[in-house]
Amino acid sequence: MPTLPVYPDLASLHLTCNHLGRVPPTLAAATSLTELSLACNTTLALTAADADGVLSHLPELRRLYLDVHRVPPQVLSQLSERAPQLQVSRLPPSLLW
């Protein structure tokens, strides 16, 4: 996976429909993110390691858009435990580009 440049002050990032297979580890440096969209990445396999290694390092993250039906229930549960402020949902159609 190519390295993704991350800006610490970045507040919103839409990686929608980018054919991602996994969550870019460098996202952990984007500590000001409040909104992240990983929706419509049909090959994305969100894992417990992603939840612990990347998403749990984003203290300001409030909204995470995913294809929820593709995420294992235990990973959704883990996200809920690690980040109770986080709302995980499908991307509203109005935000698809």
Contacting residues for 55 by C-beta, under 8 A, at least 6 apart: 23, 27, 61, 64, 79, 82, 83, 86
Count of positions (residues) in the chain: 97
Could you tell me the pTM of the whole model?
0.85
Each residue's pLDDT tens digit, 15-52: 988 999 989 888 988 999 999 999 989 899 889 998 88
pLDDT of 52: 87
Torsion angles phi and psi, residue 89, rounded to 5: -155, 175
- Average pLDDT in the chain: 86
